[in-house]
Amino acid sequence: AEAFGNYLQNVINESIRKTGDANLWRDYERGLAGGRWCRVPVGETCAWCLMLASQGAWYVSRESALGESADHYHRDCNCIAVYHADAESIKGYKELERYKNIYYDAENTRIANANGREKYPEDLALRVANAKAEHAAPEEARARGEEYKKKPWTVYNEDLIVMRYKHGLK
C-alpha cells in the first residue's frame, strides 16, 4: 500500500510539473506574464553579468535580460536569456544562490562602508575613489576634445568594484 501511495504521488507530481510547464509556455506565447526571463551566465562571467544574473527570473523580456544585443553591456558577453517561472529549476542554473550571495555581500560591504561601520581596505577605497573621479570628470574629457560617454555614478558602479575586489571577478 505504501509503495502504491509513493507511485501515485510521483505520477501526480509529474502531471503537475508537465501541466505547469505547458501552461507557462502557453502564457508566454500569448504574451501573458506567467513567467519571467532569467539572465544565465555561460562560461567565465564578469561581475556585471553575475550581478544581473543574481536577480533570477524577474526580467519581463529577453531584451531586458540581455540588452539590445549580445554585446550590449560588454564585449564577448556569452550570457543567455531563459524564459521560466523558477530560475532554480533551470538545468545549469544551479549557481543562482552563489550569484545572489556575491552580489549581496558586495552591497552589504558598500553600505557598511558608507555608514562608517566597516571601512574599505585602503586599496579598495582608492579603486572606488578613482572610478568616481572618472565618472565625475565630463569637463576634463570635453577639454581634451573627447566625447564624455560615461553614465552618472550609481551605487551599482561601486557594488561592481566591490564584487570584483572581494571575489576576484573581471
**Kindly report the CA angle at 78 between 151 and 169, in degrees rounded to 5?**
65
Mean pLDDT for the stretch of residues 60-85: 75
DSSP 88: G
Q: Is the pLDDT of residue 65 over 80?
A: yes
Count of alpha carbons within 13 angstroms of residue 147, beta-carbon side: 1
Mean pLDDT for the stretch of residues 33-37: 66
Mean pLDDT for the stretch of residues 12-21: 57
17 — pLDDT class (breaks 50, 70, 90): low
Residues whose CB is less than 8 angstroms from the CB of residue 128 and which lie 6 or more positions away in sequence, other chains included:
120, 158, 161, 162
Chain centroid to Cα 157, Å, comes to: 14
Mean pLDDT for the stretch of residues 91-109: 81
What is the tens place of the pLDDT at every residue in 131-152? 988 877 666 666 777 776 667 7
CA dihedral 84, 73, 77, 64 (to 10 degrees): 10
